[in-house]
């Protein structure tokens, strides 16, 4: 009787692992297909941004921001007011959603611009502004430049901050000399987003003890200044890539579990 129960138990475990393996393999394939499709969409846009591959660093950043704004504004004009109810928009949000269906505000605009910039080799960082005491009231980007600056851009307002010499301005310069930069703002720019109450690149309170611990350990190892420059969101900017790698990892664990069960079974 005991052996029979053990055999049934192993058989049940085998069936469950096979089911999970099948689902995870299908999910990983879907994640890979979706990721490749989105990358191809980004590459098609980038071909229009820099067809001859001759744009210099700051020119490329500026044209990318303008192109992203151009595309998103027109999508929003067509379908931005529609209330999408499909499971895909409710349960799974792509970082290209504002490009696909014209939705969202500063966060979506910045995420889409981030995908375009990363695809071209840049390493942008999310900027969460504090406005009227509220963190994340406005989301923008900084792009590390070869000259060491963190060049500040605002995808929602199609604005690239520039200094008096015409180069993309460092975020610290904008914060310190706001009055000077205020006079160069785009007409549509909302001047309450003035960087005077502070900004951050990651919300280290997001997951409570977990993210706070990561911050404190990182600060001890790398230094507080280095951790304050970390933008976690940009490392997880492509949801399909995350789904792909997680599914592959689950598949490998299932295969390992099946291998162990096979040894027990035979």
pLDDT in the model for residue 8: 59
Q: Where are the domains of the chain?
A: 2-197+231-265
Confidence of residue 3 (pLDDT cuts 50, 70, 90): low
Q: What percent of the chain has pLDDT over 90?
A: 76
Count CB-CB contacts under 10 A for residue 165.
6
pLDDT in the model for residue 240: 92
Q: What is the mean pLDDT of the chain?
A: 91
Q: How far apart are the first and last CA of the chain?
A: 18
pLDDT tens digits for range 152-191:
999 999 999 999 999 999 999 999 999 999 999 988 899 9
Distances (CA, A) of 49 to 52, 54, 184, 228: 9, 10, 24, 32
Q: List the 134-144 sheet strands across, edge first.
A: 159-160, 150-154, 134-144, 125-131, 199-200
The set of residues, in sequence order, having a beta carbon less than 8 Å from that of 75 and lying 6+ positions away, is 98, 99, 100, 101, 102
With a cut of 50, say whether residue 1 has pLDDT above it.
no
The set of residues, in sequence order, having a beta carbon less than 8 Å from that of 150 and lying 6+ positions away, is 125, 142, 143, 144, 170, 171, 172
Confidence of residue 266 (pLDDT cuts 50, 70, 90): low
Pick the closest to residue 155 from 41, 238, 44, 67 (CA basis). 67
């Amino acid at each position: 009787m005991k052996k029979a129960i053990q055999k049934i138990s192993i058989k049940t475990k085998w069936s469950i692992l096979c089911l999970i393996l099948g689902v995870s393999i299908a999910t990983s394939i879907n994640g890979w297909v979706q990721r490749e499709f989105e990358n191809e969409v980004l590459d098609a846009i980038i071909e229009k941004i820099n067809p001859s591959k001759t744009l210099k660093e700051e020119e490329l950043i500026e044209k990318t921001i303008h192109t992203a704004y151009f595309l998103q504004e027109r999508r929003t004009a067509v379908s931005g007011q529609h209330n999408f109810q499909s499971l895909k928009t409710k349960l799974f949000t792509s970082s290209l959603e504002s490009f696909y269906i014209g939705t969202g505000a500063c966060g979506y605009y910045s995420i889409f611009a981030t995908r375009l910039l990363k695809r071209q080799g840049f390493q942008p960082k999310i900027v969460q502004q504090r406005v009227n005491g509220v963190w994340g009231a406005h989301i923008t980007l900084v792009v590390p430049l070869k000259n060491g600056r963190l060049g500040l851009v605002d995808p929602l307002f199609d604005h690239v901050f520039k200094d008096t010499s015409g180069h993309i301005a460092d975020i610290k310069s904008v914060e310190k000399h706001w009055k000077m930069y205020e006079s160069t703002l785009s007409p549509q720019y909302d001047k309450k987003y003035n960087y005077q109450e502070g900004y951050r690149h990651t919300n280290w309170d997001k997951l409570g003890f977990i993210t706070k611990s990561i911050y404190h350990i990182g600060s001890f190892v790398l230094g507080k200044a280095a951790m304050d420059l970390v933008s976690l969101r940009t490392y997880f900017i492509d949801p399909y890539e995350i789904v792909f790698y997680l599914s592959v990892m689950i598949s490998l664990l299932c295969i390992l579990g099946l291998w162990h069960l096979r040894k027990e079974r035979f």
